[in-house]
Amino acid sequence: MIFHFHSFMGITAGFLSFIAFIPYILSTLKGKNRPNRATWIIWTIVGVILLFSYKAAGATDALWVSIANVLAFGMVLSLSFKYGEGGWNSFDLLCLTGAAIGLFLWWYFSSPLPALYMSILVDLIGAIPTFKKSYLDPAGENLLSWILFWIANTLNLFAVQEWNMAMATYPIYLFLLTGALALILVFRRQSESPPTSSCP
């Protein structure tokens, strides 16, 4: 029963995570959403590394979110070259450089756990431009998608079968990352909303 519960939660989380990209992609095609190229380049590359390193570390049911992310990351990345922004200024290049260093260290250690932890660090570096853009331009990110990402990663916590550093770090990281981005977008949009007047 426990095994089936973990499997169900993992598959549900992966499905919801992929579905969450639909409004994000549609909003991008309409020009309302402007994905940061540096973030999605890093997230696509690191997403593949995280998928294989997390699997090598022993993950099973909690892998579905990683699989969904890799598929969707590639789709958003391809759209970002036409509809996105960034990728070439000094801040974005600094993030890309940090990611490259992290990937080198992953290769140097040649072990699933160092690969997993270093890839999470690289992934966080890749998120910095999107955190910056979400704060400065909250309308440039799709709020519905980030809320769905957070819900998916919340469900994915229940797909973790063994709560140890190797199995729990990545799902917890995704839960915190997507939750933080969703909160930033909610509060920044509220702060930028024009006040309603009580006068007739």
Write the pLDDT tens digit of every residue in 80-138: 888 888 766 777 677 777 777 877 877 787 777 887 888 888 888 878 878 888 898 88
Token look-up 């998120």 returns 127
181 near 62, Cβ under 8 Å?
A: no
In this prediction, residue 148 carries a pLDDT of 92
Q: Flag whether 194 is in a domain.
A: no
Q: Flag whether 33 is in a domain.
A: yes
In this prediction, residue 88 carries a pLDDT of 66
Q: Flag whether 134 is in a domain.
A: yes
Q: Flag whether 146 is in a domain.
A: yes
- Number of domains forming the structure of the chain: 1
Which residue range forms the structural domain that includes residue 42? 2-188
In this prediction, residue 3 carries a pLDDT of 54
Averages of pLDDT over runs of 10 residues in the chain (200 residues) are 75 92 89 81 84 84 89 92 78 73 78 81 82 86 89 92 86 94 92 54
Q: Flag whether 195 is in a domain.
A: no
In this prediction, residue 156 carries a pLDDT of 92
Q: Flag whether 193 is in a domain.
A: no
Query: Rounded distance, CA 54 to CA 57, Å?
Result: 5
Q: Flag whether 199 is in a domain.
A: no
